[in-house]
Amino acid sequence: MGDRSEGTALLLRLFVAGEGPNSREALANLEAIRQRCLHPDDVQVEIVDVLEDPLRALEDGVLVTPTLKAYNSPPVSIVGTLRDHQKVMRALGLPHHESGRRGAED
């Protein structure tokens, strides 16, 4: 998938289950990924805690957490802690800085 067009906002919704270790890791990785983007302000992030709002997860077809869903783009769903930053950014089509810590492989 190619890079996203400049000026096109991307809505990312991260579904987590409370404050567990996988939820915390996914949150931290998503913020690191957003900061590596060439235009981090063009990436909007919404966090949905499925323990507090389980119907929202079901409405979006989320059965496993953590799950990242991309909107305003071709549909993308990524399950896991998002630790491989390069793969996540490629899947989302986000232009990014090549330098920086590369996430570990899943």
Model confidence over 78-98: pLDDT tens digits?
999 999 999 999 999 887 666
Phi, psi of 19 (to 5 degrees): -110, 25
Range of the domain at 88: 10-92
For residues 80 and 100, give the distance between their C-alpha atoms in angstroms, rounded to a whole number.
21
End-to-end CA distance of the chain: 20
Q: Identify whether 104 is part of a domain.
A: no
We report the CATH number of the domain holding residue 83 as 3.40.30.10
Q: Read off the amino acid at residue 41.
A: D
Q: Identify whether 62 is part of a domain.
A: yes
Q: Identify whether 86 is part of a domain.
A: yes
Q: Identify whether 55 is part of a domain.
A: yes
Predicted structure pTM score:
0.82
What integer pLDDT is reported at residue 41 of this predicted model? 85
Number of domains in the chain: 1
Q: Identify whether 101 is part of a domain.
A: no
For residues 9 and 42, give the distance between their C-alpha atoms in angstroms, rounded to a whole number.
5
